Every structure is written in structure tokens, then in C-alpha cells.
A and B are shown apart, each in its own frame.
Chain A
Amino acid sequence: MKPFFINMGLFQAKLNDYPSSISPALNQIYGDCQSKEMSDFTVRLAPGSIVRKYLRPQIVFESNTQIPFKPLPFSQAYALLEWGLNWCLATHDFNHLLLHSAVLVKNNKAVLFPALPGSGKSTLSCWLAINGWKLYSDEMAVINTDSLTAEPLYRPACIKNRSIELVRAWQPEATITRVCSDTAKGDVAHAKFQTWADYSRLQPVEIAGIVFPKYDGSLSEEQFYTIAKSQVFEELCQHAFNYHVLGYQAFDTVWRLIDKVKVFEVHYSNLDFMDEFLLDEVVGHGE
């Protein structure tokens, strides 16, 4: 079987074995990327045990002989691959500070949305990506510890449950993979909002703000708060994948970052409001 090269921009994974059922999704999401000479990760999606090949088939993610997760039902192969690639990045890249956060860019300024499950982060990311923002990353902020800039990744957004229909309604022609049902996170699909050609024009950009979003449909009026720096520090440390490995460097990076950016917690029910709020308060309206 010919390997499939997944160039995520900063890193490339060589996918050696995979079930043909994920070929359409692979081609949708990574089919247009240009492959590099050397891959940074070598990964496989292999069937579970021999018994499991016939009886409730399973799929196992393997990266360079390591198996980080328990097997999943065969139908969730593509979602497992994307989660596996997150694992690869989070456990191998100690040259950047990695935060569990979405990164969106407008007017050459980045906003981080550190994730709280159920906060509506991915839905917000997709909405902004459809409405003129650049999606640098949906899951992982890759931060340069010297320049404090955010690096772009060529990865799709992971959308769940009702958000899948929302994204389809907002952008009927959007590139969305087939839905994996009944995963640990419910129904899951992956969506991308840029081509490889769009991606290759992206540059690392300055981080202007950190926003902790909280979607609350029952709100009649948006609420936003500033947060004490010590609290933000604690939040970011908890959201960092590799804080403990980077040690002092992570401490220093988080601290310098907090010192220079604007931080808000925003409770919203209206997505248009978020766009305006971010332009007014965080990234500015540009030239």
C-alpha cells in the first residue's frame, strides 16, 4: 500500500496503512497538500485483533510502534486519525508552547480561544473562519517561545453534533468529512476552510488577545469580563499540553504572553456580536 502523506504544515505524518474507507476524507482534507521529503511522524491505522476483524471490527492508531489509545469502532477511523495526530504533536513538539486552544487571525493579529469542552469553541471557530477570519488552528495553538507569535497549522476543525448542521447551513459548499457517529464526543466530522494554496501564504502572527468564550443561547445580552492575570496564568498552564516538559521556559512564555495581550471572558448568544467585539476590542479594524 502506498503511504499517504499528511502535511500539516509545521509537521508531516506518513500514513502507512489505513482502511480504504477513510480515503475520501483523507483526500478531502489533505489531498491538496504538497508533501515534504522527510516525514516527522510515521503512523498507521490498523485493524484490532484477529477476532475483532470479523466481530465488531475495531481500529487501532499506531505511531512509530507506540499505541497511545485503546481501539475504537472501525467506523470512527478518520476521527481516531485526527486525534492521533493531535497526540503526535502534543507529545513530540517541545520547541513550541502548545496550548489546547483555537487560533483565529484577522488584520494580521491572532486571538486565542482556550478550550473548555462545551464552550462552543469549535462552532465559533468555524463561524469566524467562514466570515473572513483565518483559522490557524482549531485544537492547538502553536506558540513560538521567543517571538510569542502563533504558527499556522494545516488541520481541519473538529465539529460535533448540532454544529455539523450549523456549519453546513452557513456554508453549503463547505468541505466536511462524512460524520462519525457515536464517538466519545457524540457525532463528529472534520471541516476545512482553506486550500493548501491559501495555507501556504499564511505567516506566523502576533497574538493580540486571549478570549475565553462561553456560548449561552438563553442570554438576551452579551456579557464580557476582564480576568485577573494570576487567574489567566493558571488557566493557560492548565490548557498547555507540554507545560510540564518545557518547565521554566513555559512559565516564562505564558507570563510574557499574558503581560502583553488583552484577555476577556465573553458570554454570548449572538455570533455577529463576537465578530464585532473581537474587532473593536482585540485585533482592531485594520488599516
Chain B
Amino acid sequence: MANKFSFENLVKAINSPERLTRLSLQEWEPLLFVLKTSRLEAYLAFVLRDSEVWDSIPEQVRAHLSAAMVYAQRQNDQVFHEGQEIHDLLIAQGVTPVFLKGAAYIVAATNNAQGRLCSDIDLLVKEGDLATSETTLLNNFWYHKTITDYDDKYYREYAHEIPPLYHLTRGTVLDLHHNLFLPVSGKAPPLEQFWQGVQLQECGLYTLEPAAMFMHSIIHLMLNEEVVYGFRDMVDLKCLAQQYDSDAFWQRVEQLAAKSHFETEVKVVMTLLNTWFDTAYPVKPPQGRLKRSGLRLLVRIYKYALIPEHPALHSVRSGLARFVVFVRGHSMKMPPKVLLKHLSIKLWLGVYNWLRGDSTADAKPVDLGAAFKR
């Protein structure tokens, strides 16, 4: 069959981009669609553009890749622009703003920075600086959209971030964090270790140190109930691991994992990295048979859950795995009593929207801000 596409094709494209020259246009088509949905098109585009095979790629395909690069480059520029402005505002108040996730990769120019899209800018400040930071931003063209009282309470009481801030004229979305995971869960990592390694990047903005960036990416991927861009996150982790691969780096990762009690999560991710991307990073098997089979099970679940959600890759197994991740993510985030209450409220809202026939009520913003939309 002409357009048969599988997850292996996607992994191969990431692992051996130089072999993509062998693809026919019919084979490129589903690959491009899946890359777009999983937000990896621009990443691969930059890899190909900087390689020797760029000229051997069909013109129609190159047009897509070029457009993806233009879009990503524009977001990249905007991250620097917004980043600098936010940095200056907060530094003036004696607050150290640390950029996280996508914005951090771009600011630190890590190997995955080129072509990395981000739907918002994530920022970490010390908990004691949270009120000052919020006030400063609110006084400088950032604002909160009206959200339900319940959502506001959720953010303020349970979460590790305040409700999103939006830039009044540019529409950029800013998530202001005071922790890397929800305090209500009882699993939020002790942050002294993470703050210790904070680095000033060449561009003058702060990020976590590489091992902490790696660790935070794992926390974000493995403890969330949604893994919509999970495979992209794995490519982020692959790039970071490849770039910083050294004994010192892995020791630091292990240390951070131990301090924050996320050793299992790190092991799952590293096993998957080795499985997909043909690497041999050190994964110490856990003590005890029960723990070992527990790890195997998690690896198996995530192996399917992280396959991008696209009709071309649809499978019952992935659907089931994502459901398990959904349940696990919620149970990690909140103690059972809080969770039950949270889910009942969300379920009611979901049923309400379904009955109303509003299938777009859950539509998520697809890009950095209104500046990219009309």
C-alpha cells in the first residue's frame, strides 16, 4: 500500500535524516503530516538544511521544510525579545528569572533549539519572589484572562505556577512558576539543588544547568496526564543527552533524580532513549524484582503512549496507554481526595460541552501568541 506509514518511519527519520533522500513523494506525504502534528517539522528541517542532502530533497518537500524554518525562526527571535524584556523587568526588582523548557533551550542554544516551537514561555522564580514578579509583570503590559474561580483556585492553591499571563499587545503567553511540580502532590522536588546550578547564558538570560534542564524535561513529560507532544519531548531529551553526554552529566542527573525522588521516571526515559535512538546511556536496574517489573511495565506503557497522536499512527494500544498515562498523571498530581473533587468538576464541564456540541471548546492555542494569527 502506497501511504502505509508507521512509527518506525518517524524514528528512522530522526535517527538517519540523511537516508530520507530515498523517500518518494508518496512516502514524504504522511511523514510531513506527522512531523507537523508532533511539532518536529522545523527541527528536522534545520537538521536537513545543515546537512549535505538538502539539495537532493524534492522541491515540494523543501517548500514545506523552508516554511517551517521561517515560522520557527520567527518564534525563536520572539523568545529572545520577550525573554530580554521580562529579564530586565524582574532583575530591576531584584528577582532572578530562570527560563524553562522550550524558552530555555532557545536561550541556551542547545542542540534542539533550532526549530523548537513553544506555545508559551515558562519562567521560574523563587517562591518568595512570586508576588513581586506577578505585580511587576501586571504593571508592564501583562495581564490575566478571566478564568473560572475554580481554575484560579486550582492554580493558586495546588499548582506550581500562577494562571497564565498574556502580553497585551503581542499576545505572548507566559507561565510563571515557583516550582517544577505541583506542591499539592507532595512530590514537588526540593528546589535548592536546582537553583544551585542556575547558569547565566551568553545572551544574558538565566536557565537551569544542563542536567537540571534534562531532569525538568523528564518531570514534565513523565508526570503530566497529557503527552500530546511527548515524542517531541523525547527528541529534546535525545538532543540534550547527546550534547552533554559525560560521566559528570549523568552523575548530576542521578543526584538530582535521587534528591527529588524521580529515579524511576529517569530510568523509564533513558531506557526509551536507548531503545529508540540507538544509544547506550547508563541505566541502573532498580533493586528488587517487583521494582524491576514495575519499571518494565512503565517503559511498555510510555513506549506506546508517546507515539504521536495522528490518524496515520492510530492504534488501540496507544489509546489505552495514553489512558493509563492520563490516570497516572492525575494520581501523581494530587492526593486522592483533592483529585476526586477536581475530576468531578472537570467531568461535569466536559459533559456540558459535549451536550452543547461544542467540539472546539477544548481547542488549545497552537502557537506562541496572537501575533502569529489573524
| Interface residues, chain A, with chain B CB atoms under 8 Å away | 36-40, 42, 48-49, 51-52, 58, 60, 64-67, 69-71, 90, 92-95, 241, 244-247, 249
Known: A64-B33, A245-B74. A95 touches B359 (CB 8 A): no
CB contact list, B13-67 vs A, under 8 A: 24-26, 28-29, 33, 36-37, 58, 60-61, 63-64, 66-67
- B64, B74, B309, B371: the one within 8 Å of A65 (CB): B309
22 contacts between A and B (CB under 8 A): A36-B60, A37-B25, A37-B26, A38-B58, A38-B60, A40-B64, A48-B359, A51-B354, A51-B355, A52-B357, A58-B357, A65-B37, A71-B357, A71-B359, A93-B67, A94-B66, A94-B67, A94-B71, A95-B70, A245-B70, A245-B74, A245-B372
Residues of B within 8 A of A249 (CB): 70
Q: Are B26 and A38 in contact (CB under 8 A)?
A: yes
Using CB atoms, name the residue of chain A closest to B27: A38
Q: Are A60 and B359 in contact (CB under 8 A)?
A: yes
A90 vs B311: C-alpha distance when bound (angstroms): 23
Given A60-B359, A244-B372, output 4 extra A-B contacts at Cβ < 8 Å. A37-B25, A39-B29, A58-B357, A67-B359
Q: Are B360 and A67 in contact (CB under 8 A)?
A: yes
Q: Are B311 and A65 in contact (CB under 8 A)?
A: yes
Q: Are B74 and A244 in contact (CB under 8 A)?
A: yes
Those 8 A-B pairs whose CB atoms lie nearest each other, nearest first = A94-B70, A38-B25, A52-B357, A49-B357, A94-B67, A37-B25, A38-B29, A244-B371
Q: Is residue B4 within 8 Å, beta carbon to beta carbon, of the partner chain? A: no
Q: Are A51 and B363 in contact (CB under 8 A)?
A: no
| Interface residues, chain B, with chain A CB atoms under 8 Å away | 24-26, 28-29, 33, 36-37, 58, 60-61, 63-64, 66-68, 70-71, 74, 77, 309-311, 354-355, 357-360, 363, 366, 371-372, 374
A38 vs B62: C-alpha distance when bound (angstroms): 13
- B26, B36, B358, B374: the one within 8 Å of A90 (CB): B374
CB distance from B45 to the nearest CB of A (A): 11
Q: Are A51 and B357 in contact (CB under 8 A)?
A: yes
Residues of A within 8 A of B374 (CB): 90, 241
Q: Are B366 and A247 in contact (CB under 8 A)?
A: no
A38 vs B61: C-alpha distance when bound (angstroms): 9
A65 vs B68: C-alpha distance when bound (angstroms): 17
Q: Are A71 and B67 in contact (CB under 8 A)?
A: no
Using CB atoms, name the residue of chain A closest to B37: A65
Using CB atoms, name the residue of chain A closest to B63: A95
Using CB atoms, name the residue of chain B closest to A87: B374
Q: Are A247 and B74 in contact (CB under 8 A)?
A: yes
CB distance from B72 to the nearest CB of A (A): 10
A241 vs B71: C-alpha distance when bound (angstroms): 13
A38 vs B374: C-alpha distance when bound (angstroms): 28
Using CB atoms, name the residue of chain B closest to A69: B360
- A60, A65, A93: the one within 8 Å of B310 (CB): A65
Q: Are B77 and A70 in contact (CB under 8 A)?
A: no
A35 vs B328: C-alpha distance when bound (angstroms): 46
A93 vs B354: C-alpha distance when bound (angstroms): 34
- A40, A94, A247: the one within 8 Å of B60 (CB): A40
Known: A48-B359, A51-B355, A64-B37. A245 touches B71 (CB 8 A): yes
Q: Are A70 and B66 in contact (CB under 8 A)?
A: no
A94 vs B24: C-alpha distance when bound (angstroms): 24
Using CB atoms, name the residue of chain B closest to A245: B74
Residues of B within 8 A of A92 (CB): 64, 67
CB distance from B289 to the nearest CB of A (A): 41
A245 vs B72: C-alpha distance when bound (angstroms): 9
Max chain B Cβ within 10 angstroms of own Cβ: one of A245, A247, A249 = A245
Using CB atoms, name the residue of chain A closest to B311: A65
Q: Are B360 and A70 in contact (CB under 8 A)?
A: yes
Max chain B Cβ within 10 angstroms of own Cβ: one of A37, A48, A69, A249 = A37
A88 vs B245: C-alpha distance when bound (angstroms): 41
CB distance from A262 to the nearest CB of B (A): 27
Q: Are B67 and A67 in contact (CB under 8 A)?
A: no
Residues of B within 8 A of A247 (CB): 74, 77
Using CB atoms, name the residue of chain B closest to A53: B357
Q: Are B66 and A95 in contact (CB under 8 A)?
A: yes
CB distance from B117 to the nearest CB of A (A): 12
Using CB atoms, name the residue of chain B closest to A71: B359
A42 vs B35: C-alpha distance when bound (angstroms): 13
Residues of A within 8 A of B363 (CB): 67
A66 vs B71: C-alpha distance when bound (angstroms): 17
Using CB atoms, name the residue of chain A closest to B363: A67
Residues of B within 8 A of A246 (CB): 70, 74
- B29, B64, B360: the one within 8 Å of A71 (CB): B360
A247 vs B371: C-alpha distance when bound (angstroms): 11
